[in-house]
Amino acid sequence: MVLHILLAAATELYSSPYLVHTGAVVAAVYVVYTFSQGKKTNRERDLHARTVLITGGLTPLGLTVAQELAQRGAHLILVTPHAVDTGEASVLIPLLRSSTSNEEIFAEQCDLTSPSSIRAFCTKFLSAKDHRLDALVFAHEYEHIGPAALFSTSQSDRERAEKDREAASLSTFLIITLLLPSLLVAPVERDIRVVNVINPFYAAAIAGTDTINPSPAPDHSKRGLLVSEGLRSLRTCLLTRHLQRILDALPAAQVPKTDDGSSTVPVVDPKAQKSNIVAVSVSPGIGRAATIGKILNADWTNTTKSKLGIFFYILLQPFFRMLTKSTPYAIQSILHALFLPTPFKIVGEASTEVLKPGALYSDCAVVPVNVVSSRFSVPDGIDKSDEAPTEGVTLEDDGEYGGELAGRLVWEGYEHALLAWERANPGKQEEKSAPDIDTDSLPQL
């Protein structure tokens, strides 16, 4: 009976006058879907005995990255705001270990909205017997923050979203500055990478007219949702580029030596890379749950979820699945940034693609970012034509991503915003065990 039904269906289908049209539509949908998922990395890397710290490690994106890295032998530290013993980590970590046959996967609690909790976490990490760190992946900044006005359920959603954006960016900056001294004293032959994962709306900020660098009292009343998210993304991108300038300008920065008999070829051109620490930004693209779901406020676990947003999220699911990225495809650019050889580890022909320090990657390729200097608010007493201070380390102005002045203004803006953030969130006294940032160990900006 079943075979007769299948035979009748096949006969009807092949004799249909719409067969060609149906085939064309299916082919077009497949092409659009394949294009929207983006490029997959063609790189591989053995990560055994390498330690990777991932913030937002238990988010869908963080878990997928963790699974891929764990399968390649990496030692993982996944940062979560929830309790490790009783929260979701108590279930997910054993599952990761068993599914990847990797026991070197651990979760650490750290509330990234609390500067005191971040300081306590960094102190605990640096005080450990073995605090080796080969890669920092800031995955917590990828998820979209704040729903669209149509799907907002309360007046406080906008203010809460702005606070969450500020906390997400400042937590990245604080962790970098606290862990950077430890990274700088690591063996020079160690390949260390800092990967900032940003949302895809940086283009909206580039095309806008808002001031890019953080200001003491920003006005968000007339700023759109995508522009606000884009500014957060663009600032992190400029911060990452300036961090690379700092790393390359440090006196200790040098190209690691090559072992005898190794196929590793050190870089001859000093402009390619001057530090064994490489910082890059990565934009995974528009994800279904992490981007669209947040814009529609369709998160079932959120107490302020929008029923209208959930309705549209379910109704338009076929289009979202065709036009937005699934998590396994979204992480491809992150893996690409972690797997690409750095300039001092080129194996084989000189034409091999290498990781560009300080660059922005999307769809496994470098994305140019053109920012004009008029978009930055320069404090009184500083001329836009001024060069970097000669005291301390002089930073070269490569002209990329707004140049050295743009990066310096963004960095200094984060420094002032961090001080205000810590004053507004003092936290528990017992948590504040981490030392203040030692600015003497960094170049004077």
Residue in the block written with tokens 């970590």: 93
Structure confidence at residue 294 (pLDDT): 93
The Cβ-side half-sphere exposure at 93, using a 13 Å CA radius, reads: 22
> From CA 441, how far away is CA 125, in angstroms rounded?
19
Tokens of 262: 């190794």
At 219, the pLDDT band (50, 70, 90 cuts) reads low
> Averaged over 357-376, what is the pLDDT?
86
User: Given a cut of 90, is residue 17 above it in pLDDT?
Assistant: no
What class has domain 110-254+272-286+327-441? alpha beta
Q: How far is the CA of 204 from the CAs of 209, 225, 311, in angstroms?
A: 10, 10, 27
> Averaged over 357-382, what is the pLDDT?
79
Could you read off the pLDDT of 187-201 as tens digits, one per residue? 888 999 999 999 999
User: Given a cut of 50, is residue 439 above it in pLDDT?
Assistant: no
Chain mean pLDDT for the chain: 83
User: Given a cut of 80, is residue 146 above it in pLDDT?
Assistant: yes
The Cβ-side half-sphere exposure at 42, using a 13 Å CA radius, reads: 5
* Edge-to-edge strand list for the sheet holding 365-367: 105-109, 75-80, 51-55, 135-138, 192-197, 277-282, 360-362, 365-367
User: Given a cut of 80, is residue 418 above it in pLDDT?
Assistant: yes
> From CA 133, how far away is CA 252, in angstroms rounded?
18
Structure confidence at residue 41 (pLDDT): 94
> From CA 339, how far away is CA 353, in angstroms rounded?
11
> From CA 77, how far away is CA 136, in angstroms rounded?
10
At 295, the pLDDT band (50, 70, 90 cuts) reads very high
**More confident call, 290 vs 406:** 290
User: Given a cut of 80, is residue 13 above it in pLDDT?
Assistant: no
The Cβ-side half-sphere exposure at 289, using a 13 Å CA radius, reads: 11
Tokens of 198: 């940003």
Polymer length of the chain: 445
> Averaged over 294-316, what is the pLDDT?
89
> Averaged over 250-262, what is the pLDDT?
54
**More confident call, 216 vs 230:** 230
Contact at 8 Å (CB) between 74 and 51? Answer: yes
Tokens of 83: 């309790």
Structure confidence at residue 437 (pLDDT): 46
Q: How far is CA 243 from the centre of its chain?
A: 14
Tokens of 393: 């380390």
User: Given a cut of 90, is residue 52 above it in pLDDT?
Assistant: yes
Tokens of 179: 């862990």
Structure confidence at residue 429 (pLDDT): 47
User: Given a cut of 50, is residue 229 above it in pLDDT?
Assistant: yes
pTM (two decimals): 0.86
User: Given a cut of 60, is residue 349 above it in pLDDT?
Assistant: no
User: Given a cut of 80, is residue 350 above it in pLDDT?
Assistant: no
Contacts of 271 (CB under 8 A, 6+ apart): none
Q: Containing H/E element for 26?
A: helix 19-37
Mean pLDDT is lowest, of 80-89, 395-404, 436-445, for 436-445
> From CA 117, how far away is CA 276, in angstroms rounded?
29
Strand, coil or helix: what is 138?
A: strand
At 222, the pLDDT band (50, 70, 90 cuts) reads low
User: Given a cut of 90, is residue 211 above it in pLDDT?
Assistant: no
CA angle 283, 81, 324 (to 5 degrees): 30
Structure confidence at residue 42 (pLDDT): 92
Could you read off the pLDDT of 86-97 as tens digits, one per residue? 888 999 999 999
User: Given a cut of 50, is residue 37 above it in pLDDT?
Assistant: yes
User: Given a cut of 60, is residue 436 above it in pLDDT?
Assistant: no
> From CA 410, how far away is CA 78, in angstroms rounded?
28
Structure confidence at residue 249 (pLDDT): 86
Contacts of 389 (CB under 8 A, 6+ apart): 444, 445
Q: Give percent of the chain above pLDDT 90.
A: 53
> Averaged over 426-442, what is the pLDDT?
51
| Amino acid in the structure at residue 369 | V
